Structure 1
């Protein structure tokens, strides 16, 4: 079974399984992934934005002034929730006697680019996995387009939204070429001819600034190139489908381990995929929204617009990106400055 501790984009509105792709141009050994589960369908995680939802401009207008407060008790949410894609209400999660989340509540709306920040070990990756459906909360509720999620990724009754999760490392299949990695979902589940899939792979790689690497193995790529291949895999989709649901992409430390220049490339790619959509086909639409867990200030500045600060299992501050460095909250001030003196103790 493929380990979820590594990074890849998983369309987590469904369960998945690994089986030998019948149409790969060569024999592929996936035995190392320990297939013990029944193979199940994997759906492509790329879709057009929902209709009849407000534009980014109206969203910004709704939040104008409402996120200025440093006191979360007075923070106002817009009354109209028609554009809420994911909502967490009083989410708690523990592992044994260790309490990770202690009542987390927030909403992710259509068109948002949200960053979740905070010290290490405070529950950022945990809340991301709960949103994706890979973990169930001990207490509290998660709503997907207004529908309560009662289980994990097998919630097939939930419709209207796909959720993709990109973990910290690229988690490419070591025995597959870049072409086979990027086109894996299509080779496995679509009826598209190999030539068409190969063209979509080339277009997706070009969209993330990679050309001529289709026949390389992951071991022949740098860390930054692996991240971009994983991003290309996340935006490819079956263009023969008539209807594609909107998607929220969840990134867990997408620039971890990268140098500043490589980080900038990935940050700009995350932003461009959201704002410009996929350029390979007119049928492909924009990523509806995305959430980034990060520690890096460059990612905060370049890739997100609104911030949620998670500390000791609770959201202690939220605001727009330009408020981060001017906040009067002592926790935020210490985190922004990197000062050793303050409420955050190591």
Structure 2
């Protein structure tokens, strides 16, 4: 077994007295395509934020390439580059597509603007959006905005090997999209795993087509921890009661309705 790229041990997280994660464990190895499942409010997005260093857990340990992460993410000496695709794309409305995609390099690299624009155009081509650089987010469909956020996530500085993302984090990338737009995004996720140079990803999703197309390893969270782990083919004849309820959408079962969104 390769050394885990990401390892969460005994993670606990509460918000306003509501326990979201309770002694949760998760391991992601290089090349993994992990789909994080579970009903709303069970801490799936919180897991992504903790992995990315955007959220510091109340308790537990986060290991990156076998090294314990301590303190703010900016202070880590031994770290890896991660990129995150947010559920609502999180684009700047006042910036063009090119400015959104190249934002990090424009702000943090020494590359000339012409070179950054070239790299941006390459990534837009890769996600199927050539010629859209001068448009603004308001001029794009929901699916197009998602793809712009993908282009931003995989953009890196070719002159800086440490800037290459080693894991992509997707938070509900197909939420709110019609079936055809969802298929486009799902196929893009698989294509980027082959062509972007980043083979590892974790994806939070409720959508069954996204789970089956993009999840090679599935983990189902409920009650603050992983209740089940398996593969996409295990969904065909599920024996686990949590999986059966999740797939069927039944109200009655081991999982209760949760109103909180975390």
* TM-score grouping bracket, smaller chain normalisation: over 0.9
SS in 1 for 2:74: coil
Alignment of 1:90-239 (within 5 A): 90-159=10-79, 161-239=80-158
Distance 1:152 1:333 in 2: 39
Match of 1:336 among 233, 247, 257: 247
Aligned Cα root-mean-square deviation (Å):
1.5
Distance 1:179 1:287 in 2: 22
* Cα displacement string for residues 41-90 of structure 1 (whole angstroms, at most 9, x for unaligned residues): xxxxxxxxxxxxxxxxxxxxxxxxxxxxxxxxxxxxxxx4x431000111
Distance 1:84 1:298 in 2: 27
Moved over 4 A (4+): 242-246
Distance 1:152 1:254 in 2: 27
2:211 counterpart residue number: 300
How many correspondences in the alignment? 257
Distance 1:274 1:314 in 2: 27
SS in 2 for 1:237: coil
Is 1:86 aligned to residue 6 of structure 2? yes
Measure how far apart 1:138 and its partner are: 1.4
In 2 relative to 1, CA 173–195 (structure 1 residues): closer, same or farther, beyond 3 Å? Answer: same
In 2 relative to 1, CA 244–183 (structure 1 residues): closer, same or farther, beyond 3 Å? Answer: closer
Distance 1:137 1:269 in 2: 31
In 2 relative to 1, CA 155–325 (structure 1 residues): closer, same or farther, beyond 3 Å? Answer: farther
The answer as to whether partners of 1:248 and 1:287 remain within 8 angstroms in 2 is yes
Runs of at least 5 residues in structure 2 that lack an aligned partner in the other structure:
258-262
SS in 2 for 1:90: strand
SS in 1 for 2:220: strand
Runs of at least 5 residues in structure 1 that lack an aligned partner in the other structure:
1-79, 278-285
* Cα displacement string for residues 258-316 of structure 1 (whole angstroms, at most 9, x for unaligned residues): 11111111111111111222xxxxxxxx1141000000001101111000100111111
TM-score, with structure 1 as normaliser:
0.71
The answer as to whether partners of 2:10 and 2:61 remain within 8 angstroms in 1 is yes
The answer as to whether partners of 2:157 and 2:164 remain within 8 angstroms in 1 is no
SS in 1 for 2:75: coil
1:273 counterpart residue number: 192
Query: Comparing both structures, which one devotes a greater share of its residues to strand?
Result: 2
Query: Comparing both structures, which one devotes a greater share of its residues to helix?
Result: 2
